[in-house]
């Protein structure tokens, strides 16, 4: 086939043209080489293409049982994080649990201590919801020095899935909550018996024990066969390999609540039970470590989320924060879930700094790093949600700013 | 710990009690055996637990390159089908395509024939939407004889994912659609060059080429690296391994449009281009092949979908169709996506027939098998969407009715 002589690329095909897309007429369409042999047969579980090597960011650790991996946010699309790329964090490795032997105990300040097998839990009323989980340590390195070099290193301890399970209210109603029961301890079946204290109001409002993620059983790193889901709260309280829930009268100041997961303030005191994840966003494309394929059209893409509900707006600046424009938000925007934002952009090839700012339905506006540090100092490791910038050089390279 | 003496199970914990849940006080909670060793280390991609053996239904075929596998609907939760369990159907096996060498040609009745590499496609404006795909042959065996024995065999050629890609409108605008262009041929890069004709109005309305599924690249069986998404239309038109789109003036009556994918009617004529998937539903729990774990509380769960938009209502009957009750629908209900429905049910242990009936936002009501056969006869293999019943025996066994 010959190219159409009336081709007026710049005027009629502005996006591809301005994108520098090497979109070109094809001279050998009908004869193009195609497979002449039948391909691979059917199989029972569809694995990824060998050409797809997307992986979590795995740090080089002395003790890889006590570490974390990060979601490659720049390489994921939409709002669902595939289970295999969901970030992981554990304090004593991933236990191998036989679901036929696993059970959930509910005891403490209840009328009837109860033990549920997995089969019993699955028989109870179920619900499914799409929620993000963010480790409170996500972006923690940026308290002291901004400049996480890429989206995974800066922000990859956050992921989003459809979770299915049984509401804590159903389970606590079964057990009969006593009126003195004001907090709940949730404990995992890992070797360190990781446990956290949670206020009963939140537990009754919207928490659930999840046995499925994106339609299938949880992956081992995500708590197989059972984890707690605490929507909008820091990830550590979504206790994995959940084995018992004890209703108590006060928080128990567990190791995870004293040695970890408090926010040290400039005056030496610490914020404790800073559960709620504040609104945050990150541009995932273009983002650090990527190389812009020339000036012209680019779609700026990113993710925003808030523990306070829906994302109302994401502003994007392509001039270092001087001016801002509203990005398009992927619908439906779900409460306490990733929201994908997108904005068309013509890059003129000059050096530039780009950034995004999330606003949630409570009216909370994601702060600049300066505003955040002014309020909290730089001693904390947790709940960093300052605006993240990427610097684009004229050669197209993108770096953390 | 001793059981609470005030335990009044039946009165205070009706769900677990009536469910026959063997929920019982636990005598050795604090000393329960736990792992004393740290578990498995971090890893780059999270695979399933070895205890999770859920798989697609794989028939025993002489030529497994020309077959299909089915989603085990009774073993999936929520509305997202995990990519590894998404049904597959192919006519010449699964090609192994290197995305770096793959391209999409757009030609025919356009001003500028264009070729897009995968990288170029990913640079264009993107969108993500959650949609089901249903093979028009799903439930095809039930035209002649109802009674598919389980949810996978009866209805497992349907799945639902979040798909990300570029709208056909963007691509066709780039190429410059000529006014004589009324149909579009979409062709795959498999050995049989599977292709289908699609009306241009639908293509411009909401079709897109998808490179991602549930946040990551498509799986090979789902068209890696590129497939066409035609929301609400029969699955066969969602051409996989998409390599070219040709704009033409009339449908091309491809092999898939003559030897297949027409609906033979009682008078010997055939419905052709019966693209739209009519509203359909299936109870996935309890469903054929399962065994009820005793009388008492059970949650009836299932899936409903329609190619005409949102599911408005799902009615469930637990008395063989005499009376119906409204199920609860999982929110958000998305257009042309799976909708999960749930209904609490007390089974009295007597033999019973249960069934579901979907109603979509167009007002279309899923027909009984009798109504469907009266309208279309029993010669077709495609688009069977009659109400599906399960028969529960007093021993708890569940069978296709």
* B207 lies in the same domain as B107: yes
DSSP letter for each residue of A317-383: ESSTTSS-EEPEEPSSP-TTS-EEEEEEEEE-SS-EEEEEEEEETT--BPPPHHHHHHHHTT---S-
Q: Structure pTM? A: 0.93
Q: Do the Cβ atoms of A54 and B217 come within 8 Å?
A: yes
d(CA B115, CA B107): 9
Of A58, A80, A243, the CB nearest to B214: A80
Residue B236 lies in a domain: yes
Question: At a CB cut-off of 8 Å and minimum separation 6, what does A262 contact?
Answer: A270, A271, A272, A274, A382
Dihedral through CA B290, CA B293, CA B298, CA B303, nearest 10?
A: -10
Q: Do the Cβ atoms of A52 and B93 come within 8 Å?
A: no
Chain B neighbors of A131, CB-CB under 8 A: none
- Beta-ladder partners of A291: A397
> The dihedral of CA A208, A210, A212, A218: what is its sign?
positive
* B319 lies in the same domain as B198: no
Query: How many angstroms away from the CA of A245 is the closest CA of chain B?
Result: 11
Residue A21 lies in a domain: no
Q: Do the Cβ atoms of B78 and A164 come within 8 Å?
A: yes
In terms of CA atoms, which chain B residue is nearest residue A173? B13
- Are B68 and B89 in contact by the 8 Å Cβ rule? The answer is yes
Of the candidates A318, A84, A345, A371, the residue with the CA atom closest to the CA atom of residue A213: A84
Query: How many angstroms away from the CA of B269 is the closest CA of chain A?
Result: 33
Tell me, what's the pLDDT at B25?
42
Residue B92 lies in a domain: yes
Q: Do the Cβ atoms of A85 and B344 come within 8 Å?
A: no
In terms of CA atoms, which chain A residue is nearest residue B343? A125
Q: Do the Cβ atoms of B82 and A37 come within 8 Å?
A: no
Counting the structural domains of chain B, the total is: 2
- Please count the helices (runs of H) and the strands (runs of E) in chain B: 8, 23
Of A15, A80, A225, the CB nearest to B174: A15
* A204 lies in the same domain as A305: no
* B393 lies in the same domain as B291: yes
* B317 lies in the same domain as B242: no
* B294 lies in the same domain as B354: yes
- Are B301 and B329 in contact by the 8 Å Cβ rule? The answer is no
d(CA B73, CA B159): 8
* A320 lies in the same domain as A260: no
d(CA B348, CA A178): 32
Which segments in chain A show pLDDT lower than 70?
Answer: 1-35
Domain edge (last residue) among A241, A271, A301: A271
Tell me, what's the pLDDT at B15?
42
Residue A230 lies in a domain: yes
Tell me, what's the pLDDT at B145?
87
* B202 lies in the same domain as B310: no
CATH code: domain of residue A101:
3.90.420.10
Q: Please list the pLDDT of chain B residue by residue as tens digits (401 residues).
A: 333 333 322 233 334 443 444 444 444 444 455 667 889 999 999 999 999 999 999 999 888 888 999 999 999 999 999 999 999 999 999 999 999 999 999 999 999 999 999 999 999 999 999 999 999 999 999 998 887 899 999 999 999 999 999 999 999 999 999 999 999 999 999 998 999 999 999 999 999 999 999 999 999 999 999 999 999 999 999 999 999 999 999 999 888 888 888 888 888 898 888 999 999 999 999 999 999 989 999 999 999 999 999 999 999 999 999 999 999 999 999 999 999 999 999 999 999 999 999 999 999 999 999 999 999 999 888 999 999 999 999 999 999 98
Which of B9, B24, B42 should one mutate to test binding to chain A, selecting the residue with the greatest count of A CBs within 10 A? B42
* A198 lies in the same domain as A310: no
Q: Helical H runs in B185-241? A: 200-206
Which two structure tokens, joined as six digits, stand for A57?
């960011």
Chain A neighbors of B61, CB-CB under 8 A: 42
Question: At a CB cut-off of 8 Å and minimum separation 6, what does A109 contact?
Answer: A177, A178, A180, A181, A247, A248, A249
Of B15, B49, B75, the CB nearest to A125: B15
Domain edge (last residue) among A221, A252, A271: A271
CB-based burial, A142-179: b 16+ in 10 Å, e otherwise: bbeebebebbbbbbbbbbbbbbbbbbbbbbbbbbbbee
- Burial zone of B301 (CB within 10 Å; 0-12 exposed, 13-18 middle, 19+ buried): buried
Of B47, B58, B80, the CB nearest to A215: B80
By residue range, what is the domain housing residue A356? 280-400
Tell me, what's the pLDDT at A69?
97
Query: How many angstroms away from the CA of A175 is the closest CA of chain B?
Result: 7
Pairing relation of β-strands A208-213 and A158-167?
Answer: antiparallel
* B332 lies in the same domain as B359: yes
d(CA B310, CA B333): 6
- Chain A, chain B: beta-carbon pairs less than 8 Å apart: 431
Which two structure tokens, joined as six digits, stand for A295?
């000036």
Residue B173 lies in a domain: yes
d(CA A178, CA A181): 5
For B161, which DSSP code?
E
- Are B80 and A79 in contact by the 8 Å Cβ rule? The answer is no
- What ipTM was estimated for this complex? 0.93
- Burial zone of B6 (CB within 10 Å; 0-12 exposed, 13-18 middle, 19+ buried): exposed
Chain A neighbors of B98, CB-CB under 8 A: 51
Residue A35 lies in a domain: no
Residue A53 lies in a domain: no
Q: Do the Cβ atoms of B176 and A13 come within 8 Å?
A: yes
- Are B18 and B11 in contact by the 8 Å Cβ rule? The answer is no
Domain edge (last residue) among B220, B239, B265: B265
From its phi and psi, is residue B214 left (phi > 0), alpha (psi between -120 and 50) or beta? left
CATH code: domain of residue B356:
2.60.40.650
* B260 lies in the same domain as B286: no
* B217 lies in the same domain as B315: no
The single residue listed with the structure tokens 């093979």 is B135
Query: How many angstroms away from the CA of A238 is the closest CA of chain B?
Result: 18
User: Length of chain B, please?
Assistant: 401
User: How many CB atoms neighbour CB A278 within 10 A?
Assistant: 22
Chain B neighbors of A94, CB-CB under 8 A: 39-41
d(CA B126, CA B120): 12
Residue B13 lies in a domain: no
């Amino acid at each position: 086939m010959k190219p159409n002589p009336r081709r007026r690329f710049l005027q009629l095909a502005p996006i591809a043209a301005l994108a520098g897309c090497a979109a070109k007429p094809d001279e050998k369409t009908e004869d193009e080489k195609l497979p002449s042999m039948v391909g691979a047969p059917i199989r029972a579980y569809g694995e990824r293409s060998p050409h797809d090597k997307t992986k979590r960011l795995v740090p080089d650790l002395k003790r890889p049982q006590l570490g974390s991996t990060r979601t490659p946010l720049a390489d994921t699309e939409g709002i669902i994080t595939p289970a295999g790329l969901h970030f992981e964090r554990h304090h004593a490795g991933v236990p191998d649990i036989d679901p036929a032997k696993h059970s959930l105990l509910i005891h403490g300040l209840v009328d009837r201590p109860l033990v549920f097998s997995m089969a019993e839990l699955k028989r109870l009323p179920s619900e499914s919801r799409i929620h993000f989980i963010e480790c409170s340590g996500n972006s923690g390195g940026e308290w002291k020095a901004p400049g996480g070099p890429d989206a995974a290193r800066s922000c990859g301890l956050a992921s989003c899935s459809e979770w299915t399970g049984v509401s804590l209210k159903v389970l606590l109603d079964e057990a009969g909550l006593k009126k003195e029961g004001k907090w709940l301890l949730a404990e995992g079946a890992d070797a360190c018996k990781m446990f956290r204290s949670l206020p009963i109001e939140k537990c009754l409002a919207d928490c659930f024990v999840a046995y499925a993620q994106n339609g299938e059983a949880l992956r081992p790193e995500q708590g197989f066969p059972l984890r707690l889901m605490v929507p909008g709260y820091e990830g550590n309280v979504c206790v994995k390999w959940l084995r018992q829930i004890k209703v108590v009268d006060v928080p128990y100041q567990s190791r995870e609540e004293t040695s970890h997961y408090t926010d040290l303030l400039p005056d030496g005191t610490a914020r404790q039970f800073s559960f709620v994840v504040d609104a945050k966003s990150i541009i995932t494309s273009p983002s650090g470590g990527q190389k812009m394929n020339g000036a012209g059209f680019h779609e700026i893409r990113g993710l925003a989320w808030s523990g306070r509900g829906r994302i109302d707006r994401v502003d994007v600046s392509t001039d270092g924060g001087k001016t801002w424009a509203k990005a398009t938000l992927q619908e439906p925007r779900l409460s306490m879930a990733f929201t994908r934002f997108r904005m068309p952009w013509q890059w003129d090839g000059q050096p530039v700094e780009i950034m995004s700012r999330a606003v949630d339905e409570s009216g909370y506006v994601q702060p600049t790093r300066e505003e955040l540090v002014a309020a909290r100092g730089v001693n904390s490791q947790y709940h960093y949600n300052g605006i993240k910038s990427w610097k684009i050089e004229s050669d197209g390279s993108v770096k953390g700013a």
